[in-house]
Chains A and B, each alone.
Chain A
């Protein structure tokens, strides 16, 4: 039985804008165990990144606020921490990788400096020790000739290499939770596979828990132990990867999987889900997926479905699956 590392309960994050209140994340709950990779999958703007930022407490203020819910890491509710305390967690206990490797590194500092900065911040070490740590971080991400890379500037490295450096920065202080926000989306397909293998290797060596945000089921299949499907600020289905591929219960999950073109099925039109996700500013009362759902019924329009545990560990929010 794995221990639970992170527990998110009924998280709500809203954005207060000139044109109204945007309910980016509206009551989601999930947990991540130690050493496991938890996938968060969904279309663009479904709230995946906002969830990540909420956990990190890096929402753009004053517009974005966590208005409700708990984020419990090792018994501590992160929402209740003040800025100074939260900073101690960042980089050291929780870390994050952003999507675009081309812009994630500061162009005017060397690779070595940027990693060393993180190390120096969280661990009071002497200079030689710092360099050792930096090199071991680079080695962990399997960057060749790490001693040579120390003095390189970001622009001298390829996209894939830069993403590894970002990974090295993230892992340099041995965090317990790593949030990866679509880290492979901006990479070539061939590099993607390498990168995923790299992640797995890192996880094996360090037992870090990973929240892997993506919109690609292929990556999920490869990488994640468990996965949650997000839509319009809510989690519609949560299960182990196996379960979700074998028996997807929510119509949205189904539709998503069908949209992925498959090599073993030739011909026919590509399937796509009709319609658009709802505006997060004025949400209708019922299930968010209602307008696009092929099996919707009246009650779906009137009330939001409650979450039900269909089989062990498999949760679904859908009136039709009850």
Chain B
């Protein structure tokens, strides 16, 4: 088990470095961000001065080494255009994104567990068809469009809810609903199919043979086994959350990391883009690692094999 963990850690680390390298060079390959900063009247000297100040006159290799050095010290650099440390910008936006993601995630998990289990247990019933219907709609209609239509209906026509900003609780309704809409169908499907598989197994038959009420068969015996699979897709869910956050923040002008990322991408403010990408990569890899370890932990077989 220990060996397993160490190997995975090693791999994670290597992958991380690989990603940093790729991001670093990709971002610079695009073109000169200075053209956005400078005005046409600038003299060559002024141009050079800015170039030097921002460290962009050095070769890519040099830039990379400097960057890695900074990174090792936890310094993510400074934004090219706003002249602020990237860390500050990130720390400012992160809480806003969390305020969006966390409630959405919790709501989505609860809903999907409940709906997914019911849909699997009462196949082809009204509930099952309802769940399937939501799943179909959720996966067919693009999230950004649904969000915009929601704005159209609830903000423009009905005037029930505000269009943008974070000020009041009412502001949260649409964005959170949009986020939930993003991740719910996928999760529901997952729970449902996992449950369906489990419900087919022999030990569930045994549970019924014992005479257990269906309620116990499903919520106690089946669910515990069914939950093992969704764990695998924790990584996938995280990716869904990020995508959802970026889009939601764009539609509602929500001042979170997603919106920050978009803005800085278009402005070619690469220190910021780099930093956000790397942090995300760290999370993604971290989650993958955690999932692998939890798997080994939860499955009693693997747990006991150590002893």
Residues of chain A at the chain B interface (Cβ within 8 Å)? 56, 58, 87-92, 95-96, 98, 100, 103-109, 117-118, 121-122, 153, 155-156, 166, 169-170
Q: Is B304 an interface residue (CB 8 A)?
A: yes
Identity of the chain B residue whose Cβ is nearest the Cβ of A105 in the assembled complex: B203
Which of chain B's residues has its CB closest to A99's CB? B202
Q: Which of B203, B208, B209 contacts A106 (CB 8 A)?
A: B203
Report the count of interface residues on B (CB-CB < 8 A): 18
User: Which residue on A lies nearest to B221, using beta carbons?
Assistant: A106
A155–B300 CB distance below 8 A: yes
Whether the pair B211, A106 counts as a contact (CB closer than 8 A) is: no
**Is B201 touching A103 in the complex (CB atoms < 8 A)?**
yes
Q: Are B205 and A91 in contact (CB under 8 A)?
A: no
Evaluate contact between B210 and A117: CB separation under 8 angstroms.
yes
A288 to B128, CA, bound (A): 41
Interface-central residue, A108, A122, A170, by most chain B CB under 10 Å: A108
Q: What per-residue 1/0 map shows which CB atoms of B272-307 lie under 8 Å from chain A?
A: 000000000000000000000000000011001000
Q: Supply 19 A–B pairs (Cβ within 8 Å), ascending by A.
A: A56-B209, A58-B205, A58-B209, A87-B211, A88-B211, A90-B210, A90-B211, A92-B211, A98-B206, A105-B203, A105-B206, A106-B203, A107-B300, A121-B210, A121-B211, A121-B212, A153-B304, A155-B300, A156-B304
Q: List 6 additional contacts besides A91-B212, A103-B201, A153-B304; criterion CB under 8 Å.
A: A90-B211, A92-B211, A98-B205, A104-B206, A106-B206, A106-B207
**Does A108 lie within 8 Å of B224, measured CB to CB?**
yes
What separation, in Å, do the CA atoms of A104 and B207 have in the docked complex?
9
* Cβ of B223 to closest chain A Cβ, rounded Å: 10
On whether the beta carbons of B208 and A90 are closer than 8 Å, the reply is yes
Contacts of B209 in A (CB 8 A): 56, 58, 90-91, 95-96, 98, 170
Please give the distance in Å from B194's CB to the nearest CB on chain A: 14
A151 to chain B, nearest CB (A): 11
Q: A92 vs B212: C-alpha distance in the bound complex, in angstroms?
A: 11
A103 contacts across to B, CB distance below 8 A? 201-203
In the assembled complex, how far is the CB of residue A180 from the closest CB belonging to chain B, in whole angstroms? Answer: 12
Q: How far is the CB of B295 from chain A (nearest CB, A)?
A: 14
Q: Could you tell me the distance between the alpha carbons of A105 and B211 in the complex, rounded to whole angstroms?
A: 15
A88: B residues at CB distance < 8 A: 211
Query: What B residues does A87 contact at CB under 8 A?
Result: 211-213
User: Is the Cβ of A104 less than 8 Å from the Cβ of B300?
Assistant: no
Q: How far is the CA of A180 from the CA of B45 in the complex (A)?
A: 93
* One of A105, A106, A155 near B301 (C-beta < 8 A): A155
- Find chain B residues with CB under 8 A from A104 CB: 202-203, 205-206
Cβ-closest chain B residue relative to A92: B211
Q: Please, how many angstroms separate the alpha-carbon atoms of A121 and B206 in the complex?
A: 14
**B225 at the A interface (CB under 8 A):** yes
| Chain A, residue nearest B208 (CB) | A58
Give the residues from 169 to 226 in chain B that come closer than 8 angstroms, CB to CB, to chain A.
Answer: 201-203, 205-213, 221, 224-225
Q: How far is the CB of A223 from chain B (nearest CB, A)?
A: 21
Known: A98-B202, A104-B202, A153-B300. Contact between A91 and B225, CB under 8 A?
no
What residues on A are CB-neighbors of B300 within 8 Å? 107-108, 153, 155
Which residues of chain A have C-beta atoms less than 8 A from B206's C-beta?
98, 104-106, 166, 169
Interface residues of B in 210-262 (CB under 8 A from A): 210-213, 221, 224-225
**A265 CB, nearest partner CB in chain B, Å:** 38
Whole-angstrom distance between the Cβ of A293 and the nearest chain B Cβ: 36
- With both chains docked as a complex, state the minimum distance between the C-beta of B264 and any C-beta of chain A, in angstroms: 47
Given contacts A98-B206, A153-B304, contact A108 B211 (CB under 8 A): no
A107 touches B210 (CB 8 A): no
Would A122 and B211 be within 8 Å (CB), given that A108-B224, A153-B300, A156-B304 are in contact? yes
Distance between Cα atoms of A118 and B213 in the complex (Å): 11
Contacts of B225 in A (CB 8 A): 106-108
- Cα-based distance from A89 to B211 in the complex (angstroms): 7
Q: A118–B210 contact, CB under 8 A?
A: yes
Docked pose: A169 CA to B211 CA in angstroms? 12
Distance in angstroms from B214 CB to nearest chain A CB is 8
Chain A residues whose CB sits within 8 angstroms of the CB of B304 once the complex forms: 153, 155-156
Compute how far the CA of A95 lies from the CA of B209 in the bound complex, rounded to whole angstroms.
Answer: 6
**Contact assessment for B202 and A100 in the assembled complex, using a CB-CB cutoff below 8 Å:** yes
Question: CA–CA, A105 to B204, complex, Å?
Answer: 8
Question: In the complex, what's the smallest C-beta–C-beta distance from B156 to chain A, in angstroms?
Answer: 47
State whether B212 touches A117 (Cβ < 8 A). Answer: yes
Q: What's the least CB distance linking A109 to chain B, in Å?
A: 8
Q: Which residues in A have their C-beta under 8 angstroms from that of B201?
A: 103
Residues of chain B from 136 to 181 with CB closer than 8 A to chain A in the complex: none
Contacts of A89 in B (CB 8 A): 211
Quick check: A169 and B210 within 8 Å, CB to CB?
yes
Among B201, B203, B213, B301, max chain A CB count under 10 A is at B203
A107–B203 touching, CB < 8 Å:
yes
Nearest B residue to A101, CB-CB: B202
Task: Name the residue of chain B whose CB is nearest to the CB of A122.
Answer: B211
Establish whether residues B224 and A91, one from each chain, have CB atoms under 8 Å apart when the complex forms: no
Residue of B nearest to A166 (CB): B206
Residue of A with least CB distance to B224: A108
- Give Cα distance in the complex from A103 to B198, angstroms: 11
Residues of B near A153 (CB, < 8 A) are 300-301, 304
